[in-house]
Amino acid sequence: MELYVLFGTFVILLLIGTPVAFCLGVSSFATVIYMGLPPLVVFQRLNSGISVFALMAIPFFIYAGDLMVRGDIARRLVALAGSLIGHMRGGLGQVNIVASVMFGGVSGSAAADASAVGGLMVPQMKERGYGADYAVNITVVSSIIALMLPPSHNLIIYSISAGGRLSIADLFTAGIIPGLLLALSLMVAAWIVAKKRGYPTEPFPGFRMVGVLLVSALPGLILVAIIFGGVRSGVFTASESSNIAVVYALFITVFVYRSLSWSEFVAATMGAVRTTAMVLLVIGCAASFAWLLAYLQVPTAIVAFMQGVSNNPILILLMINVALLVLGTFMDMSPLIVITTPIFLPVAQAFGVDPVHFGIILILNLGIGLCTPPVGAVLFVGCAVGRISIWEAVRSIWPFYFAAIITLMLVTYIPALSLWLPALFR
């Protein structure tokens, strides 16, 4: 009966439009009262959920990404990407994807990627004859590449949700090949759609211009090397690297590019504070919810159920993927990571799946959910930037969904795509 109270309250609150954090917190509170436990337990679990030192990395990575969005770094990365691959069929669409790879390795946020790269690319694509739906769809789906590249704060949340025993450096490294594979599959899909619709190519600007644009964008690209190289080599932790990222971003945008005004600095600071507050509230409430799931032995029951259905790891992973894809259409990413990791990670490990490998599967899977209505946060951002309706975008987004699903299947069933690179650095 306790599970009916927990999930029933959560679903009812979600259906009437209550913010996800409050859905999680109130349903946890109602269940604890029904079980006769002290209500203080909910607040203790909430506090312990956010009182984790590794979480310090999240607000600073968010802050660094916001500073770069407002400090002209995104525009320079887009210009560099345009000079490199704009001459391909559907050139600006290809540029959009490569720019997402470059900027995703700086911001680590899908929403920031969709906002920054989309804000630059979508208007240009529309002006040059590309369909608004094509521009928005590429922007939306390619933005989830950022979730798998360092400094993805979602990988940090996964590490903490897995008990804090997983190396963040290994997770950062494990996401690189899947992220690049997703970019490649989206470029193929973009080329096919562009060829079918007859979209143009862009002239190659010449190697001299490529060099000029590379030098211009280099300070932003160096940040990727600082974050990844420092964490991977053990010179500093993820939390320390996030602080270094903020200092470096301020230095570059204020003293090198001289593009960050005082008003933009204040806006970036306030934006980072608001985003951090929302993320941490969701994580805390989700921690209470996840504790109740563990207390009621839900993970154990799910492991037993799946073992009763099949002992085939291929089928079990397919079932987990389908469940995560469905959940991702109804909830935002951060709470789902906290809630589903304690449920599905033991199942995956019971069937021999490496926890680092499973983390990449989880992040990619839930990232696809960010592009899926009715609760596709990144889809909403992309449609707002492109000024089109959700229906217009969803009607023609399927080739890009298909590319993302193919990538998910490859990452799921070829563990080496995630595990080869971390093993190489050990």
The amino acid at residue 40 is: L
pLDDT digits (tens, 9 = 90+) for 136-156: 899 889 888 988 888 888 888
pLDDT-derived band at 168, boundaries 50, 70, 90: confident
Query: Could you tell me which of 98, 125, 121, 108 has the C-alpha nearest to residue 68?
Result: 108
Rounded to an integer, what distance in angstroms lies between the CA atom of residue 396 and that of residue 383? Answer: 13
Residue 325: what pLDDT? Answer: 86
pLDDT digits (tens, 9 = 90+) for 39-91: 888 888 888 777 776 677 778 877 887 787 777 777 787 778 777 776 777 67
Residues 6+ apart with CB under 8 A from 374: 329, 330
Average pLDDT over residues 234-253: 82
Rounded to an integer, what distance in angstroms lies between the CA atom of residue 75 and that of residue 217? Answer: 9
> Is the per-residue pLDDT at 118 higher than 70?
yes
Q: How far is CA 232 from CA 139, 155, 162, in A?
A: 29, 14, 20
Residues 6+ apart with CB under 8 A from 224: 105, 106, 150
> Is the per-residue pLDDT at 361 higher than 90?
yes
Average pLDDT over residues 384-402: 85
To the nearest whole percent, how much of the chain has pLDDT over 70? 97
pLDDT-derived band at 16, boundaries 50, 70, 90: confident
pLDDT-derived band at 280, boundaries 50, 70, 90: confident
On whether the CB atoms of residues 316 and 351 are closer than 8 A, the answer is yes
Query: Could you tell me which of 203, 147, 56, 157 has the C-alpha nearest to residue 378?
Result: 147
Mean pLDDT of the chain: 82
Using omega within 30 degrees of 0 as the cis cutoff, is the peptide bond preceding 19 cis?
A: no
Residue 413: what pLDDT? Answer: 94
Residue 186: what pLDDT? Answer: 93
* 128-137, 238-247, 301-310, 361-370: range with lowest mean pLDDT: 301-310
- The region that residue 129 occupies, defined by phi over 0 for left and psi between -120 and 50 for alpha, beta otherwise, is left
Rounded to an integer, what distance in angstroms lies between the CA atom of residue 27 and that of residue 31? Answer: 6
Rounded to an integer, what distance in angstroms lies between the CA atom of residue 310 and that of residue 308? Answer: 6
Residue 375: what pLDDT? Answer: 65
pLDDT-derived band at 106, boundaries 50, 70, 90: low
Q: Which residue do the tokens 């989309």 mark?
A: 118
Q: Which residue do the tokens 């590794």 mark?
A: 54
Cβ atoms within 10 Å, residue 216 = 16
> Is the per-residue pLDDT at 407 higher than 90?
yes
Residue 405: what pLDDT? Answer: 94
Q: Which residue do the tokens 């983390």 mark?
A: 359
Rounded to an integer, what distance in angstroms lies between the CA atom of residue 223 and that of residue 68? Answer: 11
Residue 371: what pLDDT? Answer: 84
> Is the per-residue pLDDT at 170 higher than 70?
yes
pLDDT-derived band at 355, boundaries 50, 70, 90: very high
Average pLDDT over residues 225-245: 76
And the tokens for 238?
């993820």
Domain ranges of the chain: 38-425
Residue 338: what pLDDT? Answer: 83
pLDDT digits (tens, 9 = 90+) for 260-274: 888 888 888 888 888
Residue 359: what pLDDT? Answer: 93
Q: Which residue do the tokens 């073992």 mark?
A: 307
> Is the per-residue pLDDT at 105 higher than 90?
no
Rounded to an integer, what distance in angstroms lies between the CA atom of residue 316 and that of residue 323? Answer: 11
Residue 84: what pLDDT? Answer: 75
SS (HEC) of 317-365: HHHHHHHHHHHHCCCCHHHHHHHHHHHHHHHHHHCCCCHHHHHHHHHHH
pLDDT-derived band at 162, boundaries 50, 70, 90: confident
The amino acid at residue 407 is: T
On whether the CB atoms of residues 382 and 139 are closer than 8 A, the answer is yes
Using omega within 30 degrees of 0 as the cis cutoff, is the peptide bond preceding 219 cis?
A: no
Rounded to an integer, what distance in angstroms lies between the CA atom of residue 291 and that of residue 201? Answer: 53
pLDDT-derived band at 374, boundaries 50, 70, 90: low
Query: Could you tell me which of 125, 64, 72 has the C-alpha nearest to residue 258?
Result: 72
